[in-house]
A and B are shown apart, each in its own frame.
Chain A
Amino acid sequence: MIELVRDTYRYRELIWALALKELKIRYKRSVLGFMWALLNPALLMVVLTLVFSTVMRFAIPHYAIFLLSVLLPWTFFSQSLSYAVESIVSNGDLIKKIRVPKLVFPMAAVVSNIINLLLSLIPLALLVPLLRHPFYWTWVYLPVPLLALAIFTLGMTFFFAAANVYYRDVSHILQILLSAWFYLTPIIYPLDLIPARYQWIFKLNPMIYVINGFRLAVYYGMLPKAPSIVASFVCAFLSLFLGFAIFRKYQDNFVFYV
């Protein structure tokens, strides 16, 4: 774990450069370029707002904000994983020719998606007053769940990136897993929707604690309770610890399998 912190610091410039490269390439050759990082979530929000305020009406007021407050963090999570799972394999040519620390690749995937997430919060912040939803002071709390989410995601990306080097099925399995996970996490619905006697099953899902803070702060204007915050960081560090341990154990052999 100390090694992870040390290497992250030592290679911070490289990780940053790789993350920017990823973003640059994502928006390259499009007329609006980097603006898409803002436009994408903004347009998504427009669609969601229209759909849920006219076509599908829920009993939840300002459903778009209810949804987006956790959909954006979730998108960060699933995009990071989708990018990172291929990060070692797709940099195989490089790994075979230059001695390069392997951990920078999944990290760069996470960092580039953090930038995307932060940018997508801007249109969300604009949408809140637009829908006449109160703008709560609890927004300032967001860095805390953001940190837990980033750590949790990083751990998962280490695991999936390493596993995909050995079995390329992993990237396909991941997609299925992500979509199942999406519906099992109270993102499009509130947890209260689940009958009380089944709620304990849902509470085994670490994502609940990690994502909970976002909805509470943005939609309800509340802060999560201490046990929930502790649970989110326990899940986050457990993920990082296990994910990095596995990644580290196999990283020297990646070069033979990419």
Chain B
Amino acid sequence: MSSSAFAIRLENVTQRFRVIQERPDTVRELFSKFFRHQSSYHDFEAVKNASFEVPQGQMLGLIGRNGSGKSTILKIVSGVYRPTSGTVQVQGSLAPLIELGAGFHHELTGRENILLNGLLMGYSKREMLERQQGIIDFAEIGDFIDSPVKQYSSGMYMRLAFSVATEVDPQILVIDEILAVGDTGFQDKCFERIRKFRQAGKTILMVTHNMLNVAQHCDRAILVDKGSIMADGLPDDVIEVYKSLLALEAVAAH
């Protein structure tokens, strides 16, 4: 594989969080801490020395237990976190779907939110206006597009958010467990779109707890446990490792 063909590359990435037991939220606490000389935090490595490369056009599933560091990896890839050490390279435009409708404002209309959300993701006003109709059509919002999104049903809200994030035609799509929500009709529609993305040779990185999705849709899976990459390979193989990990855990618990 030539080095230019990667979409995402992480090298020895470590993300350390300072977990503060008693965060000095106020100046008073700060002073009292200062004078008592106590350290009230410990460092916690959410991701430890992770390295992997995602070639262009691959659909990669990140699996693992809650708190294993999957979402942190997504946030590092999306640029939300700057890792404590290591390097992250991303080639191509990236649309993060960490949470559907993260940039939505309840008082603004659907149409206003489309523009604002697009701008927040780094697209220009012109690009967003060009794609506006496509976004509205896919979301099946109808006349509600000019109502404040707080009046939307949760389904409409999610459809619009998913539509905005994907209609802008990113080269890389980063998805965090969002497809677990919504009815099956919506999920099918989302997967239909994801399939189209794959056909167009785009890169997809997704976190999910749904092993069926991983087995069916992904080209590759990575198992993350306690911040480290435990397995990396074909989905079926990695799912096996994950299952045995969970089984081991269950035995240990007894």
Q: How far, in whole Å, are A99 and B121 apart by their CA atoms in the complex?
A: 7
Determine if A192 is an interface residue (Cβ-Cβ < 8 Å).
Answer: no
On whether the beta carbons of A17 and B116 are closer than 8 Å, the reply is: yes
On whether the beta carbons of B120 and A24 are closer than 8 Å, the reply is: no
Determine if A169 is an interface residue (Cβ-Cβ < 8 Å).
Answer: yes
Q: How far, in whole Å, are A167 and B23 apart by their CA atoms in the complex?
A: 10
Q: How far, in whole Å, are A80 and B139 apart by their CA atoms in the complex?
A: 37
Q: How far, in whole Å, are A253 and B79 apart by their CA atoms in the complex?
A: 12
Q: How far, in whole Å, are A24 and B115 apart by their CA atoms in the complex?
A: 15
Contact with B along A226-258 (1 / 0, CB 8 A): 000000000000000000000000001001100
Supposing A13-B125, A98-B102, A167-B26 touch, asked if A256 and B18 sit within 8 A by C-beta, the answer is yes
Q: How far, in whole Å, are A252 and B79 apart by their CA atoms in the complex?
A: 10
Contact of A255 among B18, B25, B27, B81 (CB under 8 A): B81
User: Please, which residues of chain A bring their CB within 8 A of the CB of B27?
Assistant: 167, 169
Determine if B98 is an interface residue (Cβ-Cβ < 8 Å).
Answer: yes
User: Please, which residues of chain A bring their CB within 8 A of the CB of B115?
Assistant: 17
Determine if A28 is an interface residue (Cβ-Cβ < 8 Å).
Answer: yes
* Chain B residues at the A interface, C-beta cutoff of 8 Å: 17-18, 24-28, 30, 75, 78-82, 96, 98-99, 102-103, 105, 107-108, 112, 115-116, 119-121, 124-125
Given contacts A24-B112, A98-B96, 16 further A-B contacts (CB under 8 A): A13-B124, A14-B120, A17-B119, A17-B125, A21-B105, A21-B116, A25-B108, A94-B120, A95-B80, A96-B98, A98-B102, A98-B120, A167-B24, A167-B30, A252-B82, A256-B18
5 nearest CB pairs, A to B = A99-B79, A97-B102, A14-B119, A97-B98, A169-B27
